[in-house]
Amino acid sequence: MTSNGGRSVATPTRAALPAKKASSISMNPDQLLDAFDTFTSTNRRSSDAPDAIEFLNEHYNSEALLVSQLPFIREAVSDRMNRLDDHISTALQRQSDSAEATQKHVQDAKASVASLEQRIRQVQQKASQSEKTVREITKDMKRLDCAKRNLQRTITTLKRLHMLVHAVEQLRVTCLLQPHPDYKSASYLVDAIRSLLQHFDNYTDKVEPIGLLSQKVTDLHVELQFCLVRGFRIVGFGLEQTRTMENKSKYKSLIVPEDGVAFDDEDYEPVIMNPEVMVGGTMMIDALGIDARKEFMTSFCQDQLLEYTQIYKPVGKKVEKEKPRVSSFKAQPEQPKEDTKPDFALEFVEQRFVWFRNRLGEIAEKYPGVFPPYWNMEYWLTKVFLKRTKNHLLALLGGPQTKDPDASDATILLKALQKTIQFEKEVAVELERKYGTIFKEAGGKKGKGIKAFKKEESKGQNEEDGKASTDQDAVDRLLGVASSAFDSYMRPYIALEEQSMDEQLVKALEDKTVDTRGELPVFTSSTKLFVYIKGSISRCTALTKGHAFFLLYRAFQNSLRKYAQVLSNKLPPPIPQNSSVGGLSMANVSFGKKEGTPQQRASYRVPNGEEVSVCHVVGTCEYCADTVEALEDLIRDTVDEQYKAKIDMMGQQEAFHDITAKAIRVLVTGLENRLEEPLNVMCNTDWGVFDEVGEESDYVRYMHKEIVPYITLARGLIPSSYFRSICDKFALSFTETYHETLIKRVKKVSEQGTQQLLLDVYNLKTLFLKLPVLEKSETSVVAPTARKGLPAKSTIAPAMYTKMVQKQFKKIELLLKVAGTPTDLMIDVFRAHWVGGSALDLQSAMSLKGLKRTEQAAMLENFGLDPRTARKGATMNVTSTTIVTERLQAVNSDLNQMRQKVDDFRKSFR
């Protein structure tokens, strides 16, 4: 394609079609235009802009051919444009014609809508007229229907009123029947009258005859109840006592007997009701409703327990004024003082229960099969009796004027409580067996099933209807109704138990017998104490698990604290702080820090053989602490719910743990004090003139002789965890003391002397590495209470202990190695072997070697200190005191941190 005067001209290309095909399309302008339309539409679908030059190159082989065909192409294009204009004109004409038709159709539709709206209004008008016509037609019919309904209601109300009047009259006649009202028929009438009166509830206050009729029904109900109560009283107590009971009542019978003989007349002879009549009476009471039943049952229980109140109600003693003496010469015998106790006395509490059992028998004989099972009459009578008994017992135990003198006697108090609880249990069993009483489960109303739910639902429906339920309900348990009166007055019993435990503690002070049956030997007094506590719990929980048991728990806390003190008193007393042997006390070195309590700073001397008793204290404290934890769980699981959160014996466990810590300190410091003599022997040896190295020194053999039996004995008598603590404390204390002794008390050690001391230290290190796993030899002292037949223990010392011992002895060995080095090589050896050593460590070695101050100053200057500091340190000779003080403070600080971590770790598992 080339440009000619700004116009693009197609040029032949290699992509052109063959000449035959190109000439056939290019020679026909119409076909060429159709091909161009196809070409442009294809490119639009592929989203590419059509390229006209490409189209021309495709259909024309040369420019001349294209130029020759341009007139024909122009003519074809013009022809197509004309045809397109004709088509557009025709389309516009048709569109104009269709628009006029559409407008006409819209106008026709609007006219149709207006016509339809007019017709709808006409229909609405006709419908309104039709509705008015129908109302006018049915007006009279509605009046007739309303009149019919009112007439039906009136007739129904009149019928009900007639039935009500008739039923009330029948109830009145039934009430007047002689010798007894027909209670069974009355029960049916009461139900019917209640149903009928419900229809007139809205008219009772508005219509006077209805109100009078309702009041008459109420009076008849009261009269029937009164006659029934009178009949029951005559059956139970006779005529005279019934009259006495009625005289105290404000209500009087409204019925006048036909024969003219009134109830209060002497000629009146009552007819005793038979069981059939009394059963009808209970049916009538049920018909009257739940309130009437409760009232009747309350009255019956009060009547039956009237005699009990008269006999057993506590009364205060009347102080009679002393009559004036009449002078007479006749000898008058002295009247003996009455020393008999009244029937209501606490000592005779069992007589109350005998009386009630007899009364239950009389009721069963006089009222056989009268009370329905769902009344639970015998149960409610028993519960009222127990409540009255509780009030009587409270008066006897704590009343200001009615308190029984025996209320402070633990024996009588326990006997009365035991008899009361026994009666509560026995009477509950008897009620279940004889009368079919159903008691609630211990969990109360929890766990009810579907049947129980339906039962309560039916019961609620009956109560809504005014009827008493005829379903037998589960009732509360009787245990604790009367016996709970003793809860606040059990201190004499608690004092008796505490006194018995105190007597055991007094014996435990001197008792050194040991129980070897368990894993650890413990003092027999501890097992006896816990056996007594267990028995005391059994005795108390058989009577009560409430306030008295909680008071007993506090008594246990008291006794356990006292027993911890008893165990503490079995330990030897501490050595006075100002006393020491040979001018050096190991305890003062290892525990002589300013921090801690006086007990933690104390040192103890254990006589030969007494270490066995100290080990028994450790084992006993461990046994007591474990048993106290189990005792706490037992008490918490047993005591009543309201006291569970108050049960906490952590203080008692801590008391035994404190005694354990004290006993361990006694064992450690006791062994330390036994090693003071061999340490003094070491200090008194002249190591400067030592000329040969042989076996270990005598003081080392003496230490072996003291340590091995002591440690092996402790290993067999105390728990492994505490034995490990003893080994740790003793090893740390001994190494620090040994190191301090070398620094403070040993001077001018020769090379041969340091070699001998290194040999001694090696022997001691070997002994201390085996300390936690030492076994008893045949020649060692064996405690008679040591454990036998236990599985073999590990023969490898704990890794932490081994690391600590090696670290402690390494300081001593380095000190001796540097001190035994020739003077000119000390600094080089010190730097090579004592990694991290300071000038103070070097000065300690020089002091042990016995160098003069000037030599020490020169050595320190060569070590790297400035001359002034070196001379000042050597001149003032502050090394020994400074080193000991600083190292003791560091060790004490580490010990404090270790103890704190151990205490926190131990408390986290409690």
Name the residue type at position 747: K
- Cβ within 8 Å of residue 780, ≥6 positions away: 708, 709, 712, 713
H or E, element range at 142: helix 63-176
Per-residue pLDDT, 207: 83
CA pair distance 481, 151, nearest whole angstrom: 62
Residue 457: pLDDT over 90:
no
Pairing of strands 7-9, 514-515: unpaired
Tell me, what's the pLDDT at 703? 93
Residue 255's pLDDT band (boundaries 50, 70, 90)?
low
Report which of 373, 381, 380 is spatially closest to residue 469, judged by C-alpha positions.
Answer: 373
Tell me the CA distances in angstroms from 854 to 566, 722, 749, 872, 876, one per residue in order. Answer: 60, 50, 18, 10, 11
Paired with 604 in beta bridges are: 574
What are the φ and ψ backbone dihedral angles of 575, each rounded to 5 degrees?
-80, 135
d(CA 574, CA 5): 131
| In the chain, domain spans | 289-315+343-441+465-472, 490-661, 821-910
Q: What is the pLDDT of residues 578-607, one digit of tens each?
A: 544 444 444 444 433 434 455 556 788 889
Which backbone phi and psi does 441 adopt, to 5 degrees? Answer: -70, 165
Give the pLDDT mean for 791-816: 82
User: Helices 853-863 and 839-849: crossing angle, nearest 10°?
Assistant: 150
- pLDDT-based confidence at residue 533 (cuts at 50, 70, 90): very high
The SS3 assignment for 439 reads strand
User: What pLDDT shows up at residue 788?
Assistant: 47
Which fold does the domain 490-661 belong to in CATH? Tetracycline Repressor; domain 2 (1.10.357)
Q: Which pLDDT score is estimated for 625?
A: 94
Provide the pLDDT for residue 256: 53
Per-residue confidence band for 209, with pLDDT thresholds at 50, 70 and 90 = confident
> What CA–CA distance (Å, rounded) separates 603 from 612?
18
Q: Which helix (H) or strand (E) holds 603?
A: strand 603-604
At 636, the pLDDT band (50, 70, 90 cuts) reads very high
461 membership: H or E segment, kind and range: helix 450-464
pLDDT recorded at residue 904: 64
Predicted confidence (pLDDT) at residue 720 exceeds the cutoff of 80: yes
Q: pLDDT per residue over 474-508, tens digit each?
A: 888 888 888 888 888 888 888 888 999 999 999 99
| 101 CB neighbour count, 10 Å cutoff | 8
Q: Tally Cβ neighbours within 10 Å of residue 131.
A: 10
| Residue percentage of the chain with pLDDT more than 90 | 25
Dig out the tokens for 660 from the structure. Answer: 């354990």
The DSSP-derived string for 784-845 is: TT---SPPPPPSS--HHHHHHHHHHHHHHHHHHHHHTS-GGGHHHHHHHHSTT--HHHHHHH
Instruction: Give CA–CA dist 229/244, Å, rounded.
Output: 14
Question: 774 — alpha (psi -120 to 50), left (phi > 0) or beta?
Answer: beta
Beta bridge pairs of residue 575: 603
**Helix axes 208-237 and 63-176, enclosed angle (nearest 10):** 60
The tens digit of pLDDT for each residue in 378-403 reads: 999 999 999 999 999 898 888 788 88
**Residue 613: burial class (beta carbons within 10 Å; 0-12, 13-18, 19+):** buried
Average pLDDT of the chain, as a whole number: 79
| 62 vs 876: which has the higher pLDDT | 62
Quote the Cα angle for 727-732-737, to 5°.
125
Average pLDDT over residues 174-183: 84
Structure-block tokens of residue 85: 């204009």
Mean pLDDT over 720-739 rounds to 91
CA separation for the pair 105, 706 (Å, rounded): 134
pLDDT at 268: 66
CA 663 to each of CA 532, 572, 618, 723, 854: distance values in angstroms, whole numbers, following the listed order? 26, 9, 6, 12, 50
Helix or strand holding residue 7 (H, E): strand 7-9
> How confident is the model over 867-894, as a mean pLDDT?
54
Mapping DSSP to helix (H, G, I), strand (E, B) and coil, where does residue 582 land?
coil
Nearest in space to 625 (alpha carbons), one of 560, 566, 678, 695? 560
Residue 708, pLDDT score:
93
Residue range 294-307: average pLDDT? 92
Query: Binning pLDDT at 50, 70 and 90, where does residue 250 land?
Result: low
- pLDDT, residue 589, reads 42
Tens of pLDDT, residues 745-801? 887 888 888 888 889 999 999 999 999 988 755 334 445 555 544 444 567 888 999
Better pLDDT: 780 or 341: 341
What's 697's DSSP letter? Answer: -
Give the tens place of pLDDT for each residue, 342-390: 888 888 889 999 999 999 999 999 999 899 988 989 999 999 999 999 9
